[in-house]
Amino acid sequence: MTLAPPDTAVPAALARAFEDVDRLGVAFSGGVDSAVVLAAAVRTLGAARVVAVLGVSPSLPATERAAAHRVAAVVGAALVEVETHEGDNAAYRANGPDRCFHCKDELFTRIGEDVVTAHGLDAVAYGENADDARRPDRPGSRAATEHRVLRPLADAGLDKAAVRALARAWDLPCADKPAAPCLASRIPHHEEVTPEKLAQVEAAEAALRDLGLADLRVRHHGDIARLEVPAADLVRVASEPLRAQVNAAVRRAGFRWAVLDLAGMQSGAFTLEVLNRA
């Protein structure tokens, strides 16, 4: 659809998602999609009737956790954390293409058990947008359906561009933030997800961001860290002095080798690869 207008109004199609809601919980990550859902809910229902719910586990980087708190504070919504234990689930650890289903299923279960009653919520929403709804590599959507979680952005027909336009119009601090999938997405399917691997990826990515690489992925291939950066950064990363600094940072995180992927950034690469072979 066309970009949202550059004003502070909540689009009517989005506001309709909250018409029958008294108190709403928003499954919140601090990313642009869930932040726009949270901001729209606060603008429509009022801050006292909205709670942001952040799932915390080893798959959530500490930097993302802190950023989520900052965004919720700007929006004006209370934020509560729930510990999720997807790592206790053998199906999640097995890391098939449905891993995201097990992760979201755990999150929505925890919200239902720990937050809905405590905060008197009558509905929960999350940040699936219209582009996500059309993608085949989003098994978390099935978990949302099973738990009757609302998806206001997708239902309003708001795609990624429209969501970002709203975030900018509302001066959200995450408006231009790159997508930040959970750390488990860096591990190839059918290779076990472990806290040790997640910690390695988190350490490497944090060190690379300290070197000025804002948008990147460190894919975990055993001793090898496969680095994905935007095409515009490929030459810079491969050139001195950054090349040596990147290599040292990756090795400090516990990898033996750093490999630069010339394909650049690849959203959903592991899942799409498996689906395309099926």
Domain boundaries of the chain, sorted by first residue: 12-169, 183-277
Query: What is the arithmetic mean of pLDDT over 136-144?
Result: 84
Phi and psi torsions of 257, nearest 5°: -135, 145
Percent of the chain at pLDDT above 70? 93
Query: What is the arithmetic mean of pLDDT over 228-251?
Result: 97
Task: Evaluate whether 106 touches 84 at the Cβ level (below 8 Å).
Answer: yes
Task: Please give the residue that has the higher pLDDT: either 226 or 113.
Answer: 226
pLDDT tens digits, 192-225: 999 999 999 999 999 999 999 989 999 999 999 9
Domain 183-277, architecture per CATH: 2-Layer Sandwich (3.30)
Task: Please give the residue that has the higher pLDDT: either 6 or 99.
Answer: 99
For residue 139, name the pLDDT band (cuts at 50, 70, 90): confident
Q: Tell me which CATH code domain 12-169 carries.
A: 3.40.50.620
Tally Cβ neighbours within 10 Å of residue 114: 16
Tally Cβ neighbours within 10 Å of residue 121: 21
Assign residue 19 a region (left: φ > 0; alpha: ψ between -120 and 50; beta: otherwise).
alpha
**What pLDDT score does 60 carry?**
95
Indicate the pTM of the whole model: 0.89
Task: Please give the residue that has the higher pLDDT: either 115 or 134.
Answer: 115
